[in-house]
Structure 1
Amino acid sequence: MSDISTDRVDDVAVVTLHRPPANYFDRALIEELADAFDALSAGESRAAVLASEGKHFCAGADFGAGGAPADRVESSRQLYRAAVRLFEVPIPVVAAVQGAAVGGGLGLACSADFRVTVPTARFHANFAALGFHQGFGLSVTLPRLVGQQRAAELLYTAEKVDGTEAVRLGLADQLAEDSDPLPAALQLARSIARSAPLAVRSMKQTLRAGLADEVARATERELNEQAKLWTTEDCSIGVAANLARKEPRFLGR
C-alpha cells in the first residue's frame, strides 16, 4: 500500500504523505514523492500542494530505525538523489506545514516553492543537537530563504522556530489562522493556477535556474560530512539524547 496519495482540486493537485503522526521519510518515500510530482507535471495540474496526514508535517529520518553505518550512507546517497528531483518539478509546489518540520523534514519543506504554516508549527534544523552535519540540501535552501547569517545561526544553535517567527524570517510565506494550513495552502495554489500556466512554468524555470544542480553538489558534501560525523561519540550522544528527550552533553569527540 502506498504512503502517498494524490487528489485533484480543479487545476491543483494535493499530494499527501501518510505516515502519521511524525511522517518520517526514507529513500522509498522520497522516490515515490518525486515520481508523483513527475506524473503531475506531465498531466494537467498547474500547481500542487504538499501535505501530510496527522500531527506533524515531517520529522525527517527515523533515527530509531538503526542500521549499519555503511548501509545508512548508501541509503542516504540514494535518498538525496531522489530529493534532487524535487527541485526539478516544473509546476509550483506549496507545502502545508503543521506541527514539526524537523531535520530532513525541514529540508523537504524547503524544497517547495512556498510554505504555508500555522502559529503552532515548529521549524527545526536540529542537526547540531544530534551531532552531525545538515542534509537534504539545507546548505543551499536555508540561506536562500533567511539569509546566510540567520541560516548559520539556526544551524549552529539548532534553534526551534514557531510558525509566526518562520513567516517573519521568510522561512515560511503565509500564516494560516487556525491549526490546519491546508485550506490556506490550497488557496495560494489556486491563485497560482489561475495564472497562465506556461508563463508560470517559464518563470519558475528562470527563478530556480541551476538550483537542482546546486543542491546535488551540496548534498554530496553534506553526505560526506554526515558519514564522518555519524561515527563520532558526539553523534551517538546526540541521537540517544534525542530519543530519550534529554539534553545532550557533548564531548567533542
Structure 2
Amino acid sequence: MLSDDLPVEVEVEVEVEVEVEDGVALLEMRRPPANHFDEALIGRVVEAAKGLDDDPACRVIILASQGKHFCAGADFGGGDFAVDHVAAAERLYRRAAELFDVRTPMIAAVQGTAVGGGLGLACAADFRVAEASTRFVANFARLGFHQGFGVSVTLPEIVGRQAAADMLLTGRRVGGDEALRLRLADRLAEPGLLRVTARALAAEIAGSAPLAVRSIRATLRQGLAERVRAALDHELAEQRIHWATKDSAEGIAASLARRVPVFTGE
C-alpha cells in the first residue's frame, strides 16, 4: 500500500508537441491514428501557436500530426460530440476562431485524410503540403448537416466558389493530384517525404525578412478572422437545425457503421 505521504506519479499524455529548429517550428498533434479534435485539442494548438508568435526563434509554423491521418474532424462516436453536438461545437468554434489571430505563417503537412472539420483545420493554414495519397473531404452533406469550422469562408477563398461548391455538395474525396490543380495543396510531396517537403517550403519563407513576411501576410489575410467568426456563428446556427433532423442522425450513424446513408429529407 502506498503511504499518503508519497507522491503518486501520473503519466500525462502529451497531445501537442512543439520543436523549433532553424526558424521553423514543428507543431504536432498527437491523437493518432485519426487525430479527432475537440475544444481541448484545438485549444492546445491555439495556445502553442500563439506562444510561437512571441518566440523570436520561430518564423514559420508547420502544423502536423502523428498517425495515419492528418485530422478526421470531430468524433461523433465518442467524447463531447457524442453527448451534445451543439454544445461541443460551440466550445470548439470559439477556440478555432483564435487560429485566425495567429500572426506567424503556417503550413499544414497533410497525410492520409483531412475530412470535415479536419479539412477546416488544414484550410486555416496559409499553405498545405500533401502527397498523392492524401484525401481532402468536405463530407458535411454526406453526414446530413451544414459545413463548419469556417469552411464556408476558407474553402472558397482557396479553391474558388465553384470548386468549393463541388466539394461541399457532393462530399467527394479530392486526391492529392487534384488538390494541387485546385491549389488546395500548394506542394505535392513524394511518398514518405511529406515533412521534408513542408520543411523546404518553410525554410524558403523563413529565409525572407521576418517583419516583412508578417506584414505581407497580415495584408493578404486582412478581414479574414472577422469573416470566419461571422461564418462560424452562421454555421453553428445551421448545424443546430440540421442536427435535430432524421437525415443528420442517419448520416452520422451510416458514417460510424461505414455504410451508405439513405436520406429522406426529414
Q: What's the TM-score once normalised by structure 2's chain length?
A: 0.92
- 2:85 partner SS: helix
CA distance in 2, matches of 1:219, 1:36: 22
- 1:152 partner SS: helix
Match in the other structure for 2:37: 25
Deviations 1:20-46 (A, max 9, x none): 000000001011100000000011200
Contact 2:132–2:177 at 8 Å: present in 1 too?
Answer: yes
Correspondence for 1:161 among 155, 161, 174: 174
CA distance 1:242–1:71, shift in 2 (3 Å): closer
CA distance 1:111–1:68, shift in 2 (3 Å): closer
Once the two structures are superposed, the pairs formed by residues 130-169 of structure 1 within 5 Å of their partners are 130-169=143-182
Amino acid at match of 1:208: R
- 2:51 partner SS: helix
User: Which piece of structure 1 moves more, 220-229 or 60-69?
Assistant: 60-69
Once the two structures are superposed, the pairs formed by residues 9-88 of structure 1 within 5 Å of their partners are 9-44=21-56, 45-65=58-78, 71-88=84-101
Match in the other structure for 1:233: 246
Aligned-pair identity in percent equals: 54
Deviations 1:86-126 (A, max 9, x none): 11111100000000100000000000000000000010000
Q: What's the TM-score once normalised by structure 1's chain length?
A: 0.97
Deviations 1:162-186 (A, max 9, x none): 1111011111101001134111001
> Where does structure 1 differ by over 6 angstroms across 4 or more consecutive aligned residues?
none
CA distance in 2, matches of 1:68, 1:34: 20
Amino acid at match of 1:126: N
CA distance in 2, matches of 1:162, 1:142: 15
User: Which piece of structure 1 moves more, 110-119 or 176-185?
Assistant: 176-185
Root-mean-square deviation over aligned CA pairs: 1.3
Structure scoring higher RCO (CA < 8 A, sep ≥ 6) equals 1
Residues paired across the two proteins, number = 253
User: Structure 1: where are the runs of 5+ without partners?
Assistant: none
Q: CA deviation at 1:68?
A: 7.8
- 1:87 partner SS: helix
Q: CA deviation at 1:70?
A: 8.3
Q: Which of structures 1 and 2 has the bigger CA Rg?
A: 2
Deviations 1:110-161 (A, max 9, x none): 0000000000001000001000000000000010111111111110010110
CA distance in 2, matches of 1:95, 1:195: 19
Contact 2:80–2:88 at 8 Å: present in 1 too?
Answer: no
CA distance 1:67–1:89, shift in 2 (3 Å): closer
- 2:28 partner SS: strand
Q: CA deviation at 1:75?
A: 2.3
CA distance in 1, matches of 2:146, 2:139: 10
